[in-house]
Amino acid sequence: MPEPTDIGTRLCDIRKRRGLTQGQLSDASGVSLSLIRKLEQQQVDRTRLETARKLAAALRIPTSRLLDRSNADAEQHAEGPSALWLPVQQAVELPPPTDALSESPTLQSVQAAATAVRDFRASARLAEAAVLLPHAVRDADALGDSAEARDVRAYVLQLAGSMLTQTHQYEAASVALRRALATAQDQHRAASVVGTMCWLAVRQGHLDQARKLAAAWADDVEPRMSRASTDDLAAWGELLLHLAAACVRDNRPDEAADALKLAHGAAAMTGRDLPLGRRMSPWGPLAVAYKRAERHMVLDHPDKVLEIAPSADARTPDAGRKQNAFNRHRLDVAAAYARMRDHTQAVAALSDIHERVPEWLAQQRYARDILSDVVKRRRMLTQEMRQLADAIGLPL
């Protein structure tokens, strides 16, 4: 008696990933071409278990991959980055060790470690950052309570919170950022930490929380324009960008447009794109352009994303092309091409990101969603598509 399996969609996806036609799969498995076609076209939704086994053997996968998607999803989740980031989580969440250090850290050594982590983060060298970051957190905790020690501790904890957010370790990220905000010594650092908190809230789907937090702090730090420094403008402008991101996702497009308009004005007053420094993201006209494109992508205006992209891309310096902000923008560009059914350009955009920052791209669920959409719309995949799917961990 046939076993219910509902394997048609899974069979089609995996066959294309393997670069096989229906006829080639039939030859390799011994299953009739007619049955393969009927399964993939949902004309039948069940087959014998032995038939599923033959198809799986030809596709070089366990039979369970065809029969139950949850098996593949659970395996994919288990291969995530949590083990790599466990020492960072522990450094953030657990009390500092009570045993004395053989050599006490200095303010200069912790500052140097923080700078190294910042550079690893900016260039998407996540594994190297994960190795250094727990030591930086522990050493920062051991510095004492001077103003300088608290300042560098807040910065290190914010770096930890940012990277834990990026790698989906949300609970530990929240702990790190709450500690960073409690430790922050000045308004600029506090505002920057709050911006990272807003990003964390958006990634968790807590849009109302992110919107209210960004709005309240943007009101608090809004500078007097007649005497605003570039750091004042950056602190305010970055909060406005977080406000816009939360609003557009919370179906408040007019509020998002207003926040972006204010951010555009602050960027114009800044007059240039500031280097990363000790901020989590660059600030200036380019940052606003990236967010304008993001807003249009959320609102399903892919044509407007592609109008913004050439200018923004041309103005991005080489040093900025490995940074998160630029590559997140390029994901929006890839998504816009996919939405416009230009699959060749969508894959080219993803491949370009992969060439620059492969480790970063592998962490991006957005990238998997874009490529998954392309794969579902293609009868056959090119070798480039199959290689990219493997590189970013698109589930089989």
Residue 4 has pLDDT above 70, yes or no: no
Q: What is the model's pLDDT at position 78?
A: 41
In this prediction, residue 44 has a pLDDT band, given cuts at 50, 70 and 90, of confident
Sketch the domain layout of the chain as residue ranges. Answer: 3-75, 82-185, 201-299, 301-396
Per-residue pLDDT tens digits for 88-115: 999 999 887 665 555 678 999 999 999 9
Residue 148 has pLDDT above 90, yes or no: yes
Say which amino acid occupies 350. Answer: L
Q: What is the model's pLDDT at position 51?
A: 84
User: Is the separation of the CB atoms in 304 and 342 below 8 Å?
Assistant: no
Exposure string for 135-167, b = 16+ CB within 10 A, e = fewer: bbbbbbbbbeeeeebbbbbbbbbbbbbbbbbbb
Residue 388 has pLDDT above 50, yes or no: yes
Per-residue pLDDT tens digits for 297-321: 999 999 999 999 999 999 999 989 9
Whole-number percent of the chain with pLDDT over 90: 72
Per-residue pLDDT tens digits for 19-42: 999 999 999 999 999 999 999 988
Contacts of 94 (CB under 8 A, 6+ apart): none
Out of 43-47, 101-105, 257-261, the most confident range is 257-261
Q: What is the model's pLDDT at position 65?
A: 76
β-strands 3-4, 46-47: how paired? antiparallel
Q: What is the model's pLDDT at position 7?
A: 80
Average pLDDT over residues 355-367: 92
Per-residue pLDDT tens digits for 150-206: 999 999 999 999 999 998 899 999 999 999 999 998 999 999 999 999 999 999 989
Q: What is the model's pLDDT at position 195?
A: 97
Hey, what's the torsion of the CAs at 215, 277, 202, 158, to 10 degrees?
Answer: -100
pTM of the model: 0.82
Q: What is the model's pLDDT at position 363?
A: 86
What is the CATH T-level fold of the domain 3-75, as seen in this structure? 434 Repressor (Amino-terminal Domain) (1.10.260)
First to last CA, the chain: 27
Q: Which of 364, 367, 283, 270 is nearest to 325 (CA)?
A: 283
Average pLDDT over residues 360-377: 92
Per-residue pLDDT tens digits for 372-383: 999 988 888 999
According to DSSP, residue 225 is labeled G
